[in-house]
Structure formats: C-alpha cells, structure tokens
Amino acid sequence: MQARQPRPIEFDLPATAGCPSAVGRAWARVPEPLPAGEQAAAADRARALLEREGAVLVAHYYVDAALQELAEQTGGCVGDSLEMARFGRDHPARTLIVAGVRFMGETAKILSPDKRILMPDLDATCSLDLGCPAADFAAWCDAQPDRTVVVYANTSAAVKARADWVVTSSIALDVIAELHARGEKILWAPDRHLGDYVQRQTGADMRLWQGSCVVHDEFKGTELELMRAEHPRAKVLAHPESPAAVLAQADVVGSTTQLIDAARKLDTQILIVATDQGILHKMRAQAPGKTFLAAPTAGDSATCKSCAHCPWMAMNALSNLADALEGGRNEIRLDTELGLRAKAPIDRMLDFAERRKRRVQASGDLAGDTALFARVGPA
C-alpha cells in the first residue's frame, strides 16, 4: 500500500495539576487514493477477504464512502460509536474489522474480549484521546473524589477504566440529566465543547476537562453567520463538539446519527453541516435532492473554506483494510483486567440506553425515542 508522507497535526494538551496547557503534536498517515479504475477491484478483494475470514466490517460515518458502502453491502454496519459498539458486540462473527479510530477498536475489544478485532491502521487516533492522558486524568479525578466521573467514548481504555460512566454524544444529555436529577456532581472529560453544551442544557454541576476535537474545534461562528446570510433559508446541523458560537446558530445539535435523521426529516432544501464531511455521503443518500454545504472552518482570506475531515479517519482505506484481513494484522490487544474495568462504565451506558428504549416503546412516545426534535433550536 502506498502512503503519503505523514501529515503533522497539532492538538490541545489541556492543563493538569501544576502544568500549563500545551500544544501536543501528532501525525497521520493517509493512504494514496486509488486510481478510479482500481477501486472496484480493491472492493472485490476486501469483500472476498471478509468472507474468507468470516469477518464483519463495522465502520464509522466519517470514513471513506467506499468503506461505508462495503460495510452495507456485506452485512456490516455504518454508524456512530454507540451503534458500532452495540453492533459489534451482538454480531455472531468471530472477527470484527473496525474502520474508524483506535478508541473504537478498543471499545469493540472491551465489549467482545473473545473476538478478534482488526483495524486498517492501529495508528489512527483522535485528538480527544491524545489530549487526555490516563495518568493526568486519574490525578484530576483523585483530587475531586466527591464527583461522578463521566467520560466521552473518545478516550483510551485506561481512561474509561477510571470512569463511572462512558457516554457517546447521542446519549450524553440524557445520562447527565439523570445524574443531575439524582443530585450528583460531575467531572466531565475530555471534550470541552460537548461538556459545555451538556452543562448549559441540563444545568448540571460539571467540571470540564479542556480537550477538543481538531476537526470540530475549527468551525467558525462569524463565518457561519456570513454563510447563513448568503443562504437565509438554510438550516444548520451541528455536532456538539463544535464551539458554542457555532452551536448557538444551529437548528439541530446532535450526534452523527441524529444529524442524519434531521437531514432527512427537516422540511428544508439547504442544510449547512458542521461536522466531519465524511457524513455527507450518508446524508446525500438519505436525503437525495437536498443541498448540503460544509460549514466554514476558515475565514474569507483562506483558500479552503472548509477542511473538516478527520486526518485519522482518513487513514482507513480499502487497501489497508484488505491488507489487515489478509495478514491478520493490526489486531487490538488489551490487558484483560483493564478491559474488565473499562467495560463496567460502558455497560452502564448500554443498559441505560436499553432501559430508555423500553420506556419509550412502552409509552408509545416515539418522538422521545431519539429526543431529536426536543433539542431543535439554539443550543
């Protein structure tokens, strides 16, 4: 497989006890795109290897469209991280190949320790995970022992193992609202924008770790105002990892799945989307005929108006997926005891999601199922 030169990336490394915040440095290695004429053969090779290995492909909405299509054509799953976790756990295949970033592969292993979990590239990481080192995080928690520890799914297994709850963006509001109603005070990590959004929506007492996503942190409130002025009928869909100035202008704030639902259901022709551009493949498929505009990540003087694509999600390709399957390479391995500790807060989230689903089904309140439109409006 050909790979471009590794691309350098800077991310926020938040302040911890006694140390100032800093700029962290990482890199991403993105495979060369295949020539158009080789795409079908690469997909055929990957399909044959999935079958040979009895493997199922679990892919995130942000990965390359060819991988999303392969997952759907072969009985796999394309979803947000909560759906990926549930699908991988419940599917009978003994091998899962996870197209996404490292914490997603780790989550699959935590939930299915007896399965073989492969990834196209084990170095595909996430700035939220990198910006929340386990030892610093544990010290932060230890210094505030009266608080319930809630971490976002975008964290390492070691950080999850220190938490009381793991949440994804699709369920964070509901979990925090319930903890707040019980009178619990929260420590939240690592995404500061999602934490701030949840805090404002629920009124919960939350202290926030100051991590951020290198993709969503770049969306610009002022430029979004200009784009809305150019397209006055457009509605704005935003992921809550975006800054408050962007969320304040959003008609819908939600997880990737909730935003795709909104793209289909909203009665509008033009949608401005503030999340990774990988999601546009699914939105266009679900809402053909609508126009999708990527929310701006740069000012008027920049040559690129929106570069919102995760450099680590871009490390997943047909070629390295097939290579991993062929050689049984890039297997996720986790310490068993650590995996068990990390599993408890994930199970708590999955049980919560299951209870909520049963409650909604029993009440017939389907509008409350995703709680999507309850959250429509300025954040």
Residues within the interface to ligand SF4 (CB under 6 A) = 62, 101, 126-128, 154, 213-215, 276, 310, 312-313
Q: Nearer Cβ to ligand SF4, position 249 or 255?
A: 255
Nearer CB in complex with ligand SF4: 111/128: 128
Measured from the CB atom, the residue of 83 and 276 that comes closer to ligand SF4 is 276
- State how far the Cα of 258 lies from the Cα of 237, in Å rounded to an integer: 9
**Token pair 């200009």: residue:** 226
**Shortest separation between residue 228's beta carbon and ligand SF4, angstroms:** 23
Between CA 171 and CA 100, with CA 237 as vertex, the angle to 5 degrees is 60
Least gap, CB of 57 to ligand SF4 (angstroms): 18
Closest distance of CB 49 from ligand SF4, Å: 25
Shortest Cβ 1–ligand SF4 spacing (Å): 21
Nearest to 57 by CA among 101, 112, 118: 118
Residue 107 beta carbon to ligand SF4: minimum distance, rounded to whole angstroms: 12
Minimum separation from the CB atom of position 125 to ligand SF4 (A): 8
Smallest gap from Cβ 128 to ligand SF4, in A, equals 5
Smaller CB separation from ligand SF4, 62 or 140: 62
Q: Count CB atoms within 10 A of the CB of residue 298.
A: 16
Residues in the chain, total:
379
**293: which 2 tokens?**
């505009």
Whether the CB-CB separation of 230 and 187 falls below 8 Å is answered with no
Closest to ligand SF4 by CB, 128 vs 253, is: 128
Phi, psi of 53 (to 5 degrees): -90, 0
User: Which residue, 214 or 272, is less far from ligand SF4 as judged by CB?
Assistant: 214
Dmax (CA) of the chain: 60
Question: Which are the contacts of 41, defined by CB distance < 8 A and separation ≥ 6?
Answer: none
- CA atoms of 270 and 233, how far apart (whole Å): 7
User: What span, in angstroms and rounded, lies between the C-alpha atoms of 89 and 115?
Assistant: 9
Cβ proximity to ligand SF4: between 249 and 275 the closer is 275
Nearer to ligand SF4, 63 or 93 (CB): 63
Beta carbons within 8 Å of 142's beta carbon, 6+ residues apart: none
User: What residues contact residue 341 under an 8 Å CB cut-off, 6+ apart?
Assistant: 160, 161
Min. distance of Cβ 143 from ligand SF4 in angstroms?
26
Phi, psi of 158 (to 5 degrees): -65, -35
